[in-house]
Chains A and B, each alone.
Chain A
Amino acid sequence: MFNKGLRNILLTPFLIWAGLFIFIPLIFIVWYGVTDYGGNFSLVNMGLIFKHGYLDALELSVALALISTIICLLLAYPLSLILTERQRDNTTIISLLFILPLWMNSLLSTMAWQTILESNGIINQILRLFSLPTMQMINTPGAIVLGMVYNFLPYMVLPLYISLAKIDHHILEAAQDLGANSWQTFWRVILPLSLPGAVSGITMVFIPALTTFVISALLGGGKLLLIGNIIEQEFTFQYDWHVGCALSVILMIFIVLNMLLTTAFDPLKEEEDF
């Protein structure tokens, strides 16, 4: 479009920006993570992951994040399929209705779930009204998963919706003309073509779910610590930045591993790297 000189000039602001606000901060984290208070190199803090039961917290985080991601995926597929049905003329309204809750502050809506799930909360009050046995829902892993699904479902639906909407209708018609039933069409045509969306959706849900500390604090009652809670506590309560950073580095390693895994499973990655 234009010469290389201009291109490089246009690229400069971003390079400076990325250097200052992406790379240097990461170096800070790694540097804090592998040094001790005296500033000497030490891997003691990294090793702490094996102590204090932090590994259990990491395990719990991975488990809950995986479960939430799967639930999001299962919920989002039919929803995105319905949203992409073009013959309906109210799909716009449905998609808008779906986006609308995003404008409610997520901390407040998570708090509202607390009111719904508590032992004297709305669900249990309704159960009592019909003299049914009440349920213990708040402060359980289930409550945290629910909070994660609620908060991160849109991150799954949006990429899925986009990749489903991109599928050419003629392909689907061709499949049907060739004698595929709707199940086969879904399994053989729609699903493979929507995989890139699913992959980015999985990443977009799994990472925030793995690292959140707010949802677990609000719906877990402080009894279930996720790795995000521990990092947050190291920074704001224990005042041990070296440990906090060391744990952050471990978390980053996990995220990179997750990304490598998902890109390895991404069949269309060649076409996606625009």
Chain B
Amino acid sequence: MNYIKKIYLAIIFLFLYAPIGVLIAQSFNASRYRGHWTGITLDWYTKLFNDDRIVNALSNTLSIGLLSAGIATILGLITCVAMKELSRKWRATFMSITNVPILNADIVTGISLMLLFMGLGLRLGYVSILLAHIVFNVPYVILCIMPQLMALDKSFYEAALDLGASPFKAFSSVVLPELRPSIFAGFLLAFTMSADDFIITHFTKGAGVDTLTTAIYAELKIGIHPEMYALSTLVFLFVLIFVVLFAINRRKLKKYEEVIS
């Protein structure tokens, strides 16, 4: 049985990592054209940082991702706290409203927001992308925070109030620390979604403002400039190192816990 499991995992991981291997290989390919192997080079890595377009797209992706995830987290948290106090029926209604942007097709969300921005006379650009990303990030944040908030015991908060703390103080020192893991998860999920979104950005972006995904899409047809592969390889390595460090830390932590107990 264990044997089968291992083979199964191996196949899944081969499936998941095959395209990534291809992309990493392409970042070292001397030819500008995909699949046309002419030799190994590191040129694309050096060119990458001189390419304004890519550097701008990267900084847009990061800033839009962090900003939209941050704002969505704040808005989502406030909404969750308020929703906890609603009656069961109203809460269910609110939850279904918050879910609309995820359950609707991306293409419909993107187009509807484009129509809205143009109806408002807003010039499509950085701000419109940011707003659109907040729109689809809020539900992810709520989905992460709400279950933990519902499971939270009210009595600690009430005890803090009884001891004379203001509601805000009681919330920030009692409830917030408890929610920290889910807030963090919501923020991270929102950031990931924002960084990888293409369709909604495609419809709400303006001239000269690109995120990585729209820059990649513009290049898909004419042939991806290999600098993009180099960049993705770097991002991937960065996350990989982060993950490895995390895993090592966790192991150490576990051992430490074992020693203590």
Contact = CB atoms under 8 A, between A and B. Distances in A.
B81 interface: yes
Given A103-B239, A111-B224, A274 B23 contact: no
A11 B111 CA distance: 27
Contacts of B26: 112, 115
A260 B84 CA distance: 25
A236 to B, nearest CB: 9
A98 B17 CA distance: 9
Contacts of A2: 85, 167
Given A7-B85, A105-B232, A107-B198, A21 B131 contact: yes
A235 interface: yes
B9 interface: yes
B115 A108 contact: no
B79 interface: yes
Contacts, number: 201
Interface string B127-140: 00001001100100
A32 B82 CA distance: 35
Contacts of B18: 112, 116
A28 B119 CA distance: 9
Contacts of B35: 115, 118, 120-121
Interface stretch (A34-42, A48-56, A171-179, A211-219): A211-219
Contacts of A26: 100, 104, 112
A111 B105 contact: no
Interface stretch (B38-46, B48-56, B62-70, B86-94): B86-94
Contacts of A232: 107
A261 interface: no
Interface residues of A, number: 77
B103 A203 contact: yes
B183 interface: no
B243 interface: yes
Contact of B216 (A25, A96, A105): A105
A13 B75 contact: yes
Interface residues of B, number: 80
Contacts of A248: 105, 107-108, 111-112
A274 B150 contact: yes
Main SS at interface, chain A? helix
Interface string B13-39: 101111110110010000000110000
Interface stretch (A129-137, A184-192, A251-259): A251-259
19 contacts: A1-B81, A8-B82, A11-B83, A13-B79, A22-B135, A26-B104, A100-B240, A103-B235, A105-B213, A105-B216, A121-B35, A122-B22, A208-B105, A213-B199, A214-B217, A231-B107, A231-B111, A255-B103, A255-B104
Given A11-B79, A22-B97, A78-B5, 10 more contacts: A25-B112, A28-B112, A92-B247, A100-B239, A101-B20, A103-B192, A111-B224, A208-B106, A231-B111, A274-B146
Interface of A: 1-2, 4, 6-8, 10-11, 13-14, 17-18, 20-22, 24-26, 28-29, 32, 75, 78-79, 82, 89, 92-94, 96-98, 100-116, 118, 120-122, 150, 153, 203, 207-208, 210-211, 213-214, 218, 228, 231-232, 235, 241, 244-245, 248, 251-252, 255, 259, 273-274
Interface of B: 5, 8-9, 12-13, 15-20, 22-23, 26, 34-35, 75, 78-79, 81-86, 88, 91-92, 95, 97-98, 100-101, 103-109, 111-113, 115-116, 119, 131, 134-135, 138, 146-147, 150, 154, 157-158, 167, 192, 196, 198-199, 203, 212-213, 216-217, 220, 224, 228-229, 232, 235-236, 239-240, 243, 246-247, 250, 254
